Amino acid sequence: MHRRDVLKGLAAVPLMTIAGRVWAAPKADMRTLVVFLRGAYDAANVVIPVSSPFYYESRPTIAVPKPGSHPDAAVPLNPDWGLHPALKDSLLPLWEKKQLAFVPFAGTDDLTRSHFETQDTIELGQPVHGTRNYNSGFMARLATVLTRTKPIAYTEQLPLVFRGGHAIPNIGIGSVGRPGVDDRQAKLIESMYAKDALGGAVSEGFKVRDDVYKTVEMAAADRGAISAKGFELSARRIGRLMRDQYNLGFVDVGGWDTHVGQGGAQGYLAGRIGELGRALAGFAQEIGPEAWNDTVVVVISEFGRTFRENGNRGTDHGHGSVYWVLGGAVKGGRIAGDQVKVDHATLFQNRDYPVLTDYRALFGGLFQRAYGLDQKLMAQVFPGVTAKDLALV
């Protein structure tokens, strides 16, 4: 379907009310950032089933202590769930402001337990059984059905999720330097690609390079020396870029495949999760209060990990995960979606969290609310999927 035809079809779409505003749907005034934790983060040790004795039995060396039992204990979110203490300073305030929700038992119907296969599954957002089209990611399809989208991947490689459709820019956000190829040279290079299949990518590449460099330079000037580093620095830059220029973003962060010595309240995973928390809080700060109110950040991962710790104080590949949804207009401060008691009997294949909320149904529900997508457009983003409305925005 051509973009023009899509636009024509929009006339029939009714007006929707979101967060007290009347929006002509669908459009992309909402900002969406998807954060992909590649490597399968150990969800059960971050959003912790504190009311489950089975959790403490299953993780004799890596369980995070029960709320109140220890200075480094889990922070209670409600009677059943607690938060990893490494997120106390960064994300707990957002939870308390009801701007952060967690969706446990979320994931895919892909049972390969392969990182790469399942990451592809999620990014493509196509039915698991059947031929895959590797040139059609779900965020690329979303960008096509919406108007006024400015999509961008803050990644060194263009991820599958954004492949297909128009050339979508990508840029490694960790190290941004002054461009050495000057404007005249850039024009000469573009001229060489005028009739080449990569022409669009080349022009877009120079543009995004300049946009990002300007923003990063300005941010540096505003703040003096930014002390943040690593993913926190990246997330702060992304906040600036999404405040001013882009409204549909994707970023990934690795280092979650904790087969050995992952630690509990402290240790390796605590360090990673602490950095992630500071990054998301930094993002919210940089994007600013006004834009934050129109922003939804969704944190996902390809699957969860084995509920029981393995022989090396780590965890192996599992199934269900816990997704995070945060933003100024998010109806948070709650654990959303279908849930079961965390126990031996409810484990999937006697080893993992089950999946009760499909990632496509979750995103579908969010997109319907945020962008007012009708069934027809929804079916273009996620063919054959029934959206699940968790009323998150």
Partner 1 sequence: MSRLAQLALLIAALAPGAQAHAAEAPAQPAAAPPAAHAPAPPPAQAVAQLGAADLAFIDRVTWGVNESTAAEYQMLGRDRWLERQLHPGAKDRLPAAAQAQIAAMPISTQPVTDIATALTTQQRTANQIQDPELRKAGQQVSGQAMNEIGRQAAARSLLRDLYSPDQLREKMTWFWFNHFNVHLYKSDIRTTIGDYEEHALRRNALGKFRDLLHATATHPAMLRYLDNAENAKGHINENYAREIMELHTMGVGSGYTQEDVQELARILTGVGVNFQPLEPTVVRMGFVAQPDHIRTGLFEFNPNRHDYSVKHFLGQTIEGRGFPEVEQALDILARQPATATFVSRKIATYFMSDTPPDALVARMAQAFRSTDGDIVSVLLVMFRSGEFANSLRANDKYKDPMQFVLSAVRLAYDGKVILNPQPILGWLNRLAEGLYNHPTPDGYPMTAAAWNGPGQMAVRFEIARQIGSNPAGMFKALPPDTTERPAFPQIASAFYFNAVQPTLGAATRAALDQAASPQEWNTLFLSSPEFMH
Binding site for partner 1 (CB under 8 A): 38-39, 111-117, 134-135, 153, 156-158, 163, 167-172, 175, 179-181, 185-186, 188-189, 191-196, 198, 200-209, 254-255, 257, 259-260, 310-312, 314, 316-317, 349
- Residue 126 CB, nearest distance to partner 1 (Å)? 15
Helices then strands, each counted (H, E), the chain:
11, 13
Cβ proximity to partner 1, 153 vs 392, nearer residue? 153
**3-class secondary-structure state, position 215:** helix
- Residue 360 CB, nearest distance to partner 1 (Å)? 20
For residue 129, count CB atoms less than 10 angstroms from its CB and return exposed for 0-12, middle for 13-18, buried for 19 or more.
exposed
Cβ proximity to partner 1, 47 vs 171, nearer residue? 171
Residue 316 CB coordination number (10 Å) = 18
- Give the list of residues 6+ apart from residue 334 with CB closer than 8 angstroms, or none: 78, 98, 101
- Residue 119 CB, nearest distance to partner 1 (Å)? 10
CA 334 to each of CA 7, 41, 104, 234: distance values in angstroms, whole numbers, following the listed order: 36, 21, 11, 28
Residue 20 CB coordination number (10 Å) = 6
Longest dimension (CA), the chain: 67
- Residue 326 CB, nearest distance to partner 1 (Å)? 26
For residue 275, count CB atoms less than 10 angstroms from its CB and return exposed for 0-12, middle for 13-18, buried for 19 or more.
buried
Cβ proximity to partner 1, 113 vs 243, nearer residue? 113
Rounded Cα gap, residues 242 and 66, in angstroms = 38
- Residue 256 CB, nearest distance to partner 1 (Å)? 11
- Residue 27 CB, nearest distance to partner 1 (Å)? 24
Cβ proximity to partner 1, 70 vs 132, nearer residue? 132
- Residue 194 CB, nearest distance to partner 1 (Å)? 6
CA 116 to each of CA 160, 169, 250, 276, 297: distance values in angstroms, whole numbers, following the listed order: 11, 23, 17, 22, 23
Cβ proximity to partner 1, 188 vs 391, nearer residue? 188
Cβ proximity to partner 1, 288 vs 354, nearer residue? 354
Q: Which residues of 54-71 are buried (b: 16+ CB within 10 A; e: fewer)?
A: bbeebbeebbbbbbeeee
- Residue 261 CB, nearest distance to partner 1 (Å)? 9
- Residue 87 CB, nearest distance to partner 1 (Å)? 24
Counting every residue, how long is the chain? 393
Residue whose entry in the numeric block shows the structure tokens 């996902």: 300
- Give the list of residues 6+ apart from residue 95 with CB closer than 8 angstroms, or none: 77, 83, 332, 333
Cβ proximity to partner 1, 52 vs 301, nearer residue? 301
- Residue 196 CB, nearest distance to partner 1 (Å)? 5
Cβ proximity to partner 1, 35 vs 77, nearer residue? 35
Residue 346 in tokens: 């409810």
DSSP 322: E
Cβ proximity to partner 1, 175 vs 227, nearer residue? 175
Rounded Cα gap, residues 265 and 46, in angstroms = 9
Residue 313 in tokens: 């104080």
Cβ proximity to partner 1, 79 vs 311, nearer residue? 311
Phi, psi of 76 (to 5 degrees): -65, 135
Residue 355 in tokens: 């999946």
